[in-house]
A and B are shown apart, each in its own frame.
Chain A
Amino acid sequence: MTNLQRLLLASAMAIGPVAPAAYAADLVVGFTLDADTLDPANHRKRETETVIRNLYDGLLTRDPNMVVVPEIAESMTQVSPTVYDFKIRAGIKFHDGTMMTAEDVKFSLDRVVVEGAMGNGQTSPRQSLMGPVASVEVVDGDTVRITLKEPWPILPAMLPNQQIVSKAFVERVGSEGLATEENGTGPFRLVEWRKGESIIMERFPEYYGGATDIAPVGPACVDRVIFKIIPESASRVAALLAGDVHIINELPAFSIAQVNANSGTHVMTVNGTRSFFVAMNLEGEYFDDPLVRQAAAHAIDKNLLIDKILGGNAAPINGILSPDAFGASDLPVYGYDPEMAKKLLADAGFPNGIDVVMDTEGAFKDTAEAIASLLTKVGIRTTVAVGESAQLTSKWRLQGKAPKTGDMYFSSWGNGSLDPFDIFTPTHRTNDRGNSAGYSNPAVDALLDAAATELDVAKRAGMYREAELMINADLPYLYLWVPQDIYGVSDRLSGWKPSADSRINLHDACLN
């Protein structure tokens, strides 16, 4: 460092820390991404939803164990396979002091499901999260009825993704106003949004208390919540260690020891919902042969990779579903057996091995290279090619519109609802949007289609188990693991635990 820079710094330090009147309890979250908008119906990012969820409440919500419970709704009744009634709680106030009514609920859901309802001919990007909704009606003063075009059993699991806005407020400020202003019913109200830098909220004293099934019920514990945007993980960790923030998300596995060793901070984990896998091109010259795919499966030492690269923070999978997902069950395991792998490869007609390329994104290069070295050891000589996400997606997720090129693709698919509908169908149904392997099995397609509308819970779980057994045998993908979400937190924090859907709900969080 130069003399002048030292001088500048010294002069800055001499001034000493400025301490403008701080609130008694400011809870600061070091967060990866800024919200795109504050409009609950007009975004498609998990991070945006995390921020919005502290300002707005929904009909239903999830507890930290992913159990769906009523929030603004007092109760939910399934009247028929396609009709759901939601009785709305009385006495809920918006942040501007007006009372929330069933009309507001209908208006909020209509904004999402009706085509063009966002204004300027735009349809809500969250429409598909509501499934086949035919209509939303207020049936008597305080009940809202959702009617579906066809049975869609996961409606309750998907409803926590939608939040309730004030009809009068939206009509006044328009969709454009709702992007930067808020008037929700959530535990916090917006103080200031410094775009790209921080979102400052304060406790809403007249909060109705939130879901009765999630204690404690009442206004939020802390005075203010600040989402401070720190995209770089090393800087997020530094901010936690320096005491600038109290919670950080997406803690890298290699920083776990550092955070735990630091006095005043520790690590919290929760099972994530994202399944990692290697898609094998079933239309390609090698992986069309099941023996080659089995050889690849036996070449991979999942436990070693989980231990060494993910710091032990992942659960191995043998099908597409997370162990926590609906319909997940124990499946046959392709154990680590390099000799068996070599034999299978030779049986397939490749005694001298094969040369293949594995595509992946930059963020997963290290893991992909570790997988590649295990494959190479048995004769599947694998080179890792790093590409950009959008480019790889258009190469691999062709939906049958063009012949697929490439050998292998190390990738993942998220499943925030933990319902197979959102992960199993897109990745395994013939020509569906996430089917990178180019897998096509009419029996699996039929099971997935039937399960999507099956209302009998046990029967539906059985269908997914059957489908999982089929893909476990066909092996279009090397199913790898579901990593845990890792958070760094201050020892001062209490009343909060991470949630599998990656949301950070701060209503119950306290600072000691």
Chain B
Amino acid sequence: MSLGKLIERLLQLVPVLLGVSLIVFVMMALTPGDPVQIMIGDQNITPEQEEALRRGLGLDRPIVERFFVFIGNALQGDFGQSFYHRRPVADVIAERLPATIELSLVALIVALVTAIPLGVLAAIRKNSIFDKLATVGSLLGVSLPGFWFGILLIMLFAVQWNILPVSGRIGYSSEIETITGFLLIDTLLRGNLPAFWDAVKHILLPAITLGLPMTAILMRVTRTSMLEVLRQDYVTFADAKGLSRARVLFRHALKNALIPTVSVAAIETGSLLGGNMIVETVFGWPGLGRLVVESIFLRNYPLVQAAVLLYAVIYVGLNFFADILYTVLNPRVKL
């Protein structure tokens, strides 16, 4: 891809982000529910005290003014203060984002290393018992609700067999100084192997739960594209040349069959980030998804606005990445 194309794509981000800002701002403003009333909760309060609170949150100003102040500040990297945390929302989000990204990436890895071999196997043993089991398995994988599957794993591995922890990112006896915010990496960088294994044990169940639907989807995609590729002339030709089956499958067929798998995976990673909320809740995972949903219920406008913008950037970025990856894997396609 040329530099010009790259700049063009980056420039396209600007209207997208402005549009997203406007939409999320207007939607939050139109949604019934007064942040001040929600904050006061069940209590007696004088109108003067209520007004003081409203002024402090900047909610006494007209909505149009609030929108332009928001955009103006956002352009300078200031997304305002969280109504509840009483700190800059950028800080609050930054504390939670690494946990979400780490969990999503591990879930992605779990999905890829499970789905690709299974999909290939299902394709080469088409219509076998294995293929049929894999089909049923993938159907289950997409349809099992995350909260149910997650609790099931907890009941088995944490309560029944007591081999994995119920919740959290790392045991509270492990002391970690973060560098990147990704605990799996930080513990290794610090050379703290026990803490690394502790972190691995904590992330396993949530990553499996989060990765399950993606595993199912990727397996189906791999199976289909592998079947397609196996029907191609060049595969027949390679077989006819007398190449070993393994060489034909892995050197010739799989490389091409993986193109759709990889691009679907890149796009689906966005939905991993979005689908985190349930898994984060079930496993007490300190990620962004849970925080955003709580903030929506509390009408914590600044936090929701900043988080939605961030999600938009990540989605656009992932789509862009998928496009690039596609051209790299498949030189016939040009952007």
Contact = CB atoms under 8 A, between A and B. Distances in A.
A118 B34 CA distance: 22
A195 interface: yes
A22 interface: yes
Given A4-B114, A390-B38, A422-B42, A198 B173 contact: no
B213 to A, nearest CB: 13
B103 interface: no
Interface stretch (A82-90, A223-231, A307-315): A223-231
B228 to A, nearest CB: 23
A238 interface: yes
A4 B154 contact: no
Given A123-B55, A176-B87, A228-B172, A390 B297 contact: yes
Contact of B163 (A13, A122, A389): A13
A121 B172 contact: no
Contacts of A425: 44
A123 B33 contact: no
What are the 7 A-B residue pairs with the smallest beta carbon separation, nearest first? A390-B33, A196-B286, A197-B286, A122-B56, A128-B45, A414-B42, A239-B166
22 contacts: A9-B204, A17-B163, A22-B173, A23-B173, A33-B294, A44-B41, A118-B56, A118-B86, A122-B86, A197-B284, A228-B284, A232-B281, A235-B284, A238-B155, A239-B167, A389-B33, A390-B299, A391-B31, A421-B44, A422-B42, A426-B44, A434-B42
Interface string B262-306: 000000000000000000011111110011001001110000000
B169 A234 contact: no
Given A123-B55, A232-B147, A388-B297, A244 B158 contact: yes
Interface in B157-215: 157-159, 162-169, 171-175, 194-195, 197-198, 200-201, 204, 208, 215
Given A26-B172, A123-B52, A230-B166, A128 B198 contact: no
A44 B39 contact: yes
A200 interface: yes
B167 A230 contact: yes
B49 A128 contact: yes
A20 B192 CA distance: 11
Interface string A142-182: 00000000000000000000000000000000011001100
Interface of A: 2, 4-5, 8-9, 12-13, 15, 17-23, 26, 28, 33-34, 36-37, 39, 42-45, 115-116, 118, 121-123, 125, 127-129, 175-176, 179-180, 192, 194-198, 200, 226, 228-232, 234-235, 238-239, 241-244, 274, 388-391, 393-395, 397, 413-415, 421-423, 425-426, 432-434
Interface in B84-139: 84-87, 92, 95-96, 99, 110, 113-114, 117-118, 137
B291 A121 contact: no
A491 to B, nearest CB: 17
B46 interface: yes
A21 B293 CA distance: 36
Contacts of B38: 389-390, 393
**In the complex, which of the residues B165, B166, B175 has the most CB atoms of chain A within 10 Å of its own CB atom?**
B166
B151 interface: yes
B327 interface: no
Nearest to A9: B204
Contacts of B201: 12, 15, 18
A20 B290 contact: no
A44 B312 CA distance: 30
A289 B168 CA distance: 54
B167 A235 contact: yes
B43 interface: yes
Nearest to A397: B37
Contacts, number: 220
B295 to A, nearest CB: 11
Contact of A8 (B165, B174, B197, B204): B204
Contact of B44 (A42, A128, A179, A397): A128
Interface string B21-45: 0000000000111100111111111
A482 B237 CA distance: 78
Contact of A128 (B43, B215, B291, B297): B43
A122 B83 CA distance: 11
B309 interface: no
A390 B55 contact: no
Contacts of A390: 31-34, 38, 297-299
Contacts of B84: 36-37, 43-45
B53 interface: yes
B53 A179 contact: no
B151 A238 contact: yes
A272 to B, nearest CB: 12
Contact of A422 (B44, B137, B155): B44
B135 to A, nearest CB: 14
Given A128-B45, A239-B167, A18 B197 contact: yes
Given A238-B155, A239-B167, A2 B114 contact: yes
B2 to A, nearest CB: 40
A229 B96 CA distance: 14
Contact of B281 (A123, A231, A393): A231
Contacts of A244: 158, 165-167
A197 B285 CA distance: 7
Given A230-B166, A235-B166, 16 more contacts: A9-B157, A9-B164, A116-B56, A123-B55, A125-B39, A125-B40, A128-B44, A196-B290, A197-B99, A238-B151, A239-B167, A390-B31, A394-B32, A394-B34, A397-B37, A426-B44
